[in-house]
Chain A
Amino acid sequence: MLGIAASIMITGALVGLNAALLGTFLVVRGQALVTDAISHGILPGVAVTIAVHGAVRGPGQLLAAASSGIITVLVIDWLTANKLRRDSATGLVFPAFFALGILILSLFASDVRFSVDSVLLGEIGFVWVFERTLLGITLPSALWALLAMLVMNVAFIAVWFRRLVVASFDEEFALLTGLAPRITVAILLVLTSITAVAAFEAVGAVLFMAFAIVPALAGQLLFRRVLPVLVFAVISAALAATFGYPLAVWLEASIAPVMALCTGVPLVVALAVRAVAAWRYGSAAIRG
C-alpha cells in the first residue's frame, strides 16, 4: 500500500515521535540513562522471542520481549536500594543483559534471517517486507506496532500530563497530594520498554536512545517549561528521522544510524542559540 521510501520514512518518524514523547519526561526527571539501560536490556527478551517465533510480532510477543527491559530497570533499582551506588549498578546490569541477548541470538537464532549486526543497525530498510492487513488497511507490521504505541503513549501523556510534570519536579508534593508519582513513573518506564521493543526492528537496540534523549536535551536548552520542550523534542525527532532517509540514500550508508545522527542537528542548533544568547545577554540568558 505504501511505497518503500514512504514506509521507511513514516516508520522512522514514528520511532522518533514515540521515543521523544517518553524520553522528554525521562530527561527532565534527570533519568536520561534509564533509556540506555532499557534499550540494552530489552535484548534478551527480543532474542528469546526471535529464537522461538522468528520475529517479534503482535502484542503478546511485544510484551514478552519488553519484560526483560522492565526486569533490567527493576534489578538496577533493587541493587541501588540494597547494595550498590546507582552508576555502578547501571554499569553492571545492562551490559550483562545485552551480552546475554547477543549470546542467545548467536546460539539459537543463527538460522533465522536475523543477523547480530541488526541489533545495532536496525533493519528499517526492510520494514516494508512484512506487511499486515488490519481493518482493510495494509501496512508494514512494524508500522502497526509503532502506531499502536503512539496511541497509547499520547493517551498516557495527555491524561496524566500534570501528574508526570509534578512527579518529575516535586515528588514529595506529588505524594502528599495523592498524585501517585511512583505509579506514574512506573507506567512511564513500562511504556518505554514496550516502545523500545516496537522500535527494535527498525532501529535496533541502542539507537532508540538517540531519539529518546537527544531531541529532549535540545528542547531543554531552548525552553524552560515542559510542554514546549515536549513539542520541540517530538517535532525535531520526527523530522530528523524523516530527513535521515534521503541523506542515508545519498551517503549510501546504513539508514537507522544516519537517522539517529540527524537528531544531533537540533542539539547543535540549540547549543549555538544558547551560545549566542550568552554572548549577547550575559551567561544568565533566559530561556523561553
Chain B
Amino acid sequence: MLEFFNDQTVRTVLIGAVILGASTGALGVFAVLRRQSLLGDLLAHAALPGIVVGYFVTGTHTLPVLLLGALGSGVLAALFALLVARVPGVQREAAIGATLVLSFALGLVLLSVAERMPGTQSGALQTFLFGQAAATIEREVFMLAGAAAVLMVLLTVVFRAGTSVAFDPDFARAQGVQVFATEVWLTALLAVAIVIGLQMVGVVLMAALVIAPAVAAKQWAKNVVHMTVLAAGIGGVSGAVGAGISALQPGLATGPLIVLSATLIAVLAIFTRRHA
C-alpha cells in the first residue's frame, strides 16, 4: 500500500484530482445556491464541440487548447439557450435541454470525423467523454494548482457580493451591489471551473462534480463560508478516492468513480443533516 503512494505517477494523479475536486467543489457553492445546476450541465456538454475543434486545429489536447475551445463553445451554447428561452411560450428547461443535447450531438459528430483523421490516437472519445485522470502529468499539476489558486482569489473577491445576490438580489441592489456584474462574474467562474475539470471526469459527468460536493456541504454548513470550505474538502476527498481506486485497477474510468464518491458523501450528508 505504501509502495502505491510512493509511485510518482500515482502521486501526481492523486494531487491533480484533489486540486480539481477541491476547486470545482468550492466554485459549485454559488451554482447550487443560485439554482444553476442546469447551466453547469449545459456548459459541460457544450464544451465537447469546442474541444474537438481545438483538437482538430492544433493536433494536441493540452490544457490551454481544451480550455479555450471548451469556453468558446460553452459560451456560444449558453447564449443560444438564453435567446431561445426568451421567445414567448418557451420554457427555460426545454431551451437548455435542447441546446445541451444538440451541441453534444454536434461534438460527437465532429469527434467521429476527427477520429478517422490520420495521426489521431484512438480512444480520444473515452478521454473526452469520461475523463482521464491517469494521463495527468507533473507539468499539468503545476498548471492546475496555479489555475485553482487564481480561481480561489477571484472567488474571494466576489464572495460577499455573491452571497447577497444569491440570497436576495433586491436587497443586494438596495445595498449598492452591482447585481448584474456579480452574476456575470459568478457564471464566468463556474464556466472556467467546469472547463478545468473536464480533463479529469469528462463532459458527461462534469456537472455532477460541481453540484454534489456543494449539495453535501449545504446539509452540514452553518453559513456560506463554512459551506464553501466544506465543499472544497468534500470535492478534494472525492477526487482522491476516485483517482485512487481507478489507479488500483486498469480499465476503471476515473470520472464515474469520482462522481460516485461525491454522490455517496452527499447522500450521507442528506441523511445526517443538521438543520430541518
The interface of chain A, by Cβ under 8 A from chain B, is 27, 30-33, 35-36, 79, 83-85, 87-88, 90-92, 95-96, 98-100, 102-103, 106-107, 110, 116-117, 120-121, 206-207, 209-210, 213-214, 216-217, 220-221, 224, 251-254, 257-258, 260-261, 263-264, 267, 271, 274, 283-284, 287
The residue in chain B whose Cβ has the minimal distance to the Cβ of A103 is: B256
Residues in chain B near residue A85, CB distance under 8 A: 35
Pick from A27, A95, A117: contact of B126, CB below 8 A.
A117
- Chain B window 139-152, contacts with chain A (Cβ cutoff 8 Å), 1 for yes, 0 for no: 00000000000000
Of B40, B95, B204, B273, which is in contact with the most chain A CB atoms at under 10 Å from its CB? Answer: B204
The residues in B between 75 and 92 inclusive whose CB is less than 8 angstroms from any CB of A are 84, 87-91
Cα separation A216 to B95 with both chains bound (whole Å) = 11
* Contact (Cβ within 8 A) B256 A224: no
* Contact (Cβ within 8 A) B32 A88: yes
Cα separation A84 to B218 with both chains bound (whole Å) = 10
- Chain B window 35-50, contacts with chain A (Cβ cutoff 8 Å), 1 for yes, 0 for no: 1111011000000000
Cα separation A157 to B158 with both chains bound (whole Å) = 50
* B176 interface hit (Cβ, 8 Å): no
Known: A95-B205, A98-B204, A261-B105. A221 touches B215 (CB 8 A): no
* Contact (Cβ within 8 A) B204 A120: yes
The interface of chain B, by Cβ under 8 A from chain A, is 32, 35-38, 40-41, 84, 87-91, 93-98, 100-102, 104-106, 108-109, 112-113, 116, 125-126, 129-130, 204-205, 207-208, 211-212, 215, 219, 251-253, 255-257, 259-260, 263, 266, 270, 273
* Contact (Cβ within 8 A) B108 A92: no
Cα separation A263 to B99 with both chains bound (whole Å) = 11
What 5 A-B pairs come out closest when comparing CB atoms? A95-B208, A99-B256, A91-B37, A257-B108, A254-B112
Residues in chain A near residue B259, CB distance under 8 A: 95-96, 99
* Contact (Cβ within 8 A) A206 B38: no
Cα separation A267 to B212 with both chains bound (whole Å) = 33
* Contact (Cβ within 8 A) B93 A260: no
Residues in chain A near residue B257, CB distance under 8 A: 99, 103
Q: B interface, by DSSP: helix, strand, loop or mixed?
A: helix
Residues in chain B near residue A107, CB distance under 8 A: 251-252
Residues in chain A near residue B125, CB distance under 8 A: 117, 120
Cα separation A8 to B125 with both chains bound (whole Å) = 23
Residues in chain A near residue B91, CB distance under 8 A: 27, 30, 32
Expressed in whole angstroms, the minimum distance between the Cβ of A127 and any Cβ of chain B is 17
Cα separation A79 to B41 with both chains bound (whole Å) = 19
Known: A98-B204, A110-B251, A116-B130. A214 touches B93 (CB 8 A): no
Residues in chain A near residue B32, CB distance under 8 A: 88
* Contact (Cβ within 8 A) A84 B270: yes
The residue in chain B whose Cβ has the minimal distance to the Cβ of A89 is: B215
Expressed in whole angstroms, the minimum distance between the Cβ of B255 and any Cβ of chain A is 7
Known: A33-B93, A91-B38, A220-B89. A96 touches B101 (CB 8 A): no
Residues in chain B near residue A30, CB distance under 8 A: 91, 93-94
* Contact (Cβ within 8 A) B37 A32: no
Cα separation A31 to B94 with both chains bound (whole Å) = 8
Cα separation A267 to B100 with both chains bound (whole Å) = 14
Cα separation A260 to B112 with both chains bound (whole Å) = 14
* Contact (Cβ within 8 A) B270 A206: no
A-B contact pairs, 16 of them (CB 8 A): A33-B96, A83-B219, A83-B273, A91-B211, A96-B259, A103-B256, A106-B252, A116-B253, A117-B125, A120-B204, A217-B94, A221-B90, A252-B113, A254-B109, A257-B108, A267-B102
* Contact (Cβ within 8 A) B94 A216: yes
The residue in chain B whose Cβ has the minimal distance to the Cβ of A283 is: B88
Expressed in whole angstroms, the minimum distance between the Cβ of B57 and any Cβ of chain A is 18
Q: Contacts A88-B32, A217-B95, A221-B90 given; 7 further ones with Cβ under 8 A? A: A30-B93, A99-B205, A99-B257, A213-B94, A216-B94, A257-B106, A257-B112
Cα separation A117 to B129 with both chains bound (whole Å) = 9
* Contact (Cβ within 8 A) B116 A252: yes
